[in-house]
Amino acid sequence: MKLQASTRSNSSSGGVPLFEKLKYTWQLLKFRISEPGAMDFAMQIRNEVAGVAAIYERETGKPASQARVLEIGFGPRPQRAFGLTGFFKDVTAVDLDAPVMRLSDLVRVFRKNGLERGIKSLARYALFDARQWSTFHKVLTESTPHYRPDAAKLVVGNAGDHATWDQFGGAIDIVFSTDVFEHILPAELEVLLTTIRSRLAPGGIVVTRPVVYTGISGGHAVSWYPQNVDAQTDGTTAWGHLLDPDFTINTYLNKLTRRDFVELFKRVGFEIRGDFAEFGRMGEQWMTEERRAALAHYDDYELFSNRVEFLLR
């Protein structure tokens, strides 16, 4: 893994109070304790990145093993970026914040990213990361012959800035991101997309998977995460983020609808080659007649949007 830094110039969750963010983080961590085991998780990531390579090959007719991929928003644990090295010739990944790979990184996180990010990272590291990385690398090595995590180039910077792209060292054939675009201010997202479009290699593609606001998981409440929808026993708060005027969540969300995303992609000049809700009509069992009536100004395209894969050219 090579790590490069550039100037930090925006935030994905501005305006949410520190205490609220820490409370939300604790809920997320509790949720992660109940996640599938480390091996299953590693296989999930492996299959996800294999799917990204398959999309690239299907769409372009070229081998992923000859292509350069960029992941935007790798998050504190860059598993997808590492996994992508098993399929692509060259992997670059960028995030506003530095990853936390080992205990010593926490000092840097506290110093560079402040108290909030430091506490979040410390909790995550202590509870999971130290144990899970070895399993992750083992599973990926065994299941992906070309896996070479050390080859992933991690860049700290804003993917909307041309100066950040200057560090990538060549044209990018495919841009990929998961759970990122819904966290970026609309105006910043437009700048980011414009930058991507102008810097993508000729014939390049974008595969992005935001959790769209109008779907049942769109409010990012832990109880309505896609993994938890079927396990709920009470649907009172389903689509609560659209229905309850007092609904708040402790992470920044731009609240773009699925149509807003489509319009934005088109405005920037992308052709939309795919628009696919990953979990189908997830949450349909919680769509009572009463709730449907209250949500009458949204159609099924929006309400069953969940995590949507947009494929752009």
Q: Is 194 helix (H, G, I), strand (E, B) or coil?
A: helix
Give the one residue of 178, 214, 305, 306 binding ligand SAM; rule: CB under 6 A.
Answer: 178
Q: Residue 49 CB, nearest distance to ligand SAM (Å)?
A: 12
Residue among 12 and 144 whose Cβ is closer to ligand SAM: 12
- Could you say whether residue 96 binds ligand SAM (CB under 6 A)? yes
Instruction: Calculate ∠ Cα 1-81-33, nearest 5°.
Output: 105
Instruction: Calculate ∠ Cα 111-112-113, nearest 5°.
Output: 105
User: DSSP assignment, residue 228?
Assistant: G
Q: Residue 72 CB, nearest distance to ligand SAM (Å)?
A: 5
Touching ligand SAM, residues 112-171 (CB under 6 A): 158-160
Give the one residue of 25, 91, 97, 219 binding ligand SAM; rule: CB under 6 A.
Answer: 97
Whole-Å CA distances, 192 to 48, 197, 213? 24, 9, 19
* From 31-39, 127-135, 179-187, 272-280, span contacting ligand SAM (CB under 6 A): 179-187
Q: Residue 83's Cα: distance from chain center in Å?
A: 15
Q: Residue 105 CB, nearest distance to ligand SAM (Å)?
A: 15
Site size toward ligand SAM (CB under 6 A) is: 18
In whole angstroms, give the CA distance from residue 237 to residue 306: 16
* Residue 148: partners with Cβ closer than 8 Å, 6 or more residues away: 85, 86
Q: Residue 188 CB, nearest distance to ligand SAM (Å)?
A: 6
Residue among 90 and 97 whose Cβ is closer to ligand SAM: 97
Find out whether 177 and 208 touch, Cβ atoms under 8 Å: yes
In whole angstroms, give the CA distance from residue 306 to residue 184: 17
Touching ligand SAM, residues 59-78 (CB under 6 A): 72-73, 75
* Residue 120: partners with Cβ closer than 8 Å, 6 or more residues away: 21, 22, 25, 76
Give the one residue of 154, 192, 193, 238 binding ligand SAM; rule: CB under 6 A.
Answer: 192
Residue among 42 and 192 whose Cβ is closer to ligand SAM: 192
Q: What are the b/e assignments for 117-132, b being 16+ CB within 10 Å?
A: bbbbbeebbeebbeeb
In whole angstroms, give the CA distance from residue 77 to residue 84: 14
- Could you say whether residue 183 binds ligand SAM (CB under 6 A)? yes
Give the one residue of 95, 129, 173, 302 binding ligand SAM; rule: CB under 6 A.
Answer: 95
- Could you say whether residue 306 binds ligand SAM (CB under 6 A)? no
Q: Residue 164 CB, nearest distance to ligand SAM (Å)?
A: 7
SS3 content of the chain, % helix, strand, coil (to 5): 45, 15, 35
Q: Residue 177 CB, nearest distance to ligand SAM (Å)?
A: 6
Residue among 178 and 305 whose Cβ is closer to ligand SAM: 178
Give the one residue of 64, 70, 93, 94 binding ligand SAM; rule: CB under 6 A.
Answer: 94
Q: Residue 52 CB, nearest distance to ligand SAM (Å)?
A: 13
For 77, the token pair is 């644990």
Give the one residue of 179, 190, 260, 275 binding ligand SAM; rule: CB under 6 A.
Answer: 179
The residue to which tokens 């209250």 are assigned: 294
63 forms beta bridges with: none
For ligand SAM, the binding residues (CB under 6 A) are 10, 12, 72-73, 75, 94-97, 158-160, 178-180, 183-184, 192
